[in-house]
């Protein structure tokens, strides 16, 4: 929250009679900090950010925060259900070795999907922090606007398309080493 600082001067007086005759008034700055409280921004459920609005206005931030929080809630719910159902469905005690192998493969694929979703939840949390820090919607490398269309498609995007391609190219080069 932005803080407004006001400075007033306080007069300090001396108490002794001798000091009163020769004293001068001493002024000392006193600062008071007031917080400016903004009313929460409300948007309709059908609101869609427009290019005609100021980029990353309060409405945009509220929209993306709500979208990210809803997405996170769905992922957590899906992960919990998958873990619960995976623990209930245990065919590994089957006598047939083919059934055991199939069950193992299915569980392995399911666990990889859950791990990807956990990483995505972490990315959503980081995006929510960027919204609070007012850095959401701007490239972490170049500080240029990422763009509404890209953020609508991938709300956890951290880079512009050009910067993302550069990162992927660097990852590929380092992976080949």
Domains observed in the chain: 3-35 (no CATH), 58-176 (1.20.120.910)
Place of tokens 């948007």: 43
Could you give the percent of the chain with pLDDT greater than 90?
50
Instruction: Enumerate the β-bridge partners of residue 29.
Output: 9
Contact 118, 79 (CB under 8 A): yes
Which residues are CB-contacts of 110 (< 8 A; sequence separation ≥ 6)? 82, 86
Gap between the Cα atoms of 177 and 169, Å rounded: 13
Cα separation, 124 vs 158, whole angstroms:
11
Q: What percent of the chain has pLDDT over 70?
A: 71
* Residues 26, 20: Cα–Cα separation, whole Å: 12
Across 24-36, average pLDDT: 54
For residue range 88-143, what is the model confidence (pLDDT) as tens digits?
665 556 678 888 888 889 889 989 999 999 999 999 999 999 999 999 999 999 99
Lowest mean pLDDT among 39-43, 44-48, 153-157: 39-43
Give the pLDDT confidence score for residue 14 in this predicted structure. Answer: 47
Give the orientation angle of helix 97-132 with respect to helix 58-88, to 10 degrees.
160
- The rounded distance, in Å, linking the Cα atoms of 91 and 55 is 53
User: To 10 degrees, the CA torsion angle through 44, 123, 139, 150?
Assistant: -50
Provide the CB-side half-sphere exposure for 101 (13 A, CA): 3
Q: How far apart are CA 27 and CA 44, in angstroms?
A: 53
Nearest 5°: CA angle at 67, between 63 and 69? 120
How does pLDDT run across 113-128, given as a tens digit for each residue? Answer: 999 999 999 999 999 9
Measured CA to CA, the distance from residue 162 to residue 142 in angstroms comes to: 10
What's the distance, Cα to Cα, between the start and end of the chain in Å?
47
pLDDT at 69: 96
Q: What is the mean pLDDT of the chain?
A: 81
pTM for this one? 0.69
Quote the DSSP letter at residue 61: H
Average pLDDT of the residues in 16-26 = 50
């Amino acid at each position: 929250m932005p803080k407004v600082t006001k400075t007033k001067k306080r007069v300090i007086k001396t108490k002794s009679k001798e000091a009163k005759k020769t004293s001068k008034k001493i002024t000392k700055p006193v600062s008071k900090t007031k917080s400016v409280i903004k009313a929460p921004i409300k948007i309709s459920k059908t609101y869609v950010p427009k290019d005609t609005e100021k980029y990353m206005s309060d409405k945009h931030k509220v929209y993306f925060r709500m979208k990210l929080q809803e997405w996170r809630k769905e992922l957590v719910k899906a992960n919990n259900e998958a873990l619960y159902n995976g623990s209930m469905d245990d065919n590994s005690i089957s006598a047939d070795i083919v059934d055991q192998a199939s069950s193992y493969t299915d569980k392995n694929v399911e666990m990889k999907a859950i791990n990807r979703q956990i990483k995505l939840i972490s990315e959503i949390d980081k995006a929510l922090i960027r919204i609070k820090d007012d850095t959401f919607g701007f490239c972490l490398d170049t500080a240029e606007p990422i763009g509404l269309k890209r953020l609508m498609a991938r709300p956890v995007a951290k880079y512009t398309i050009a910067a993302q391609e550069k990162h992927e190219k660097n990852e590929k080069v380092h992976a080949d080493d």
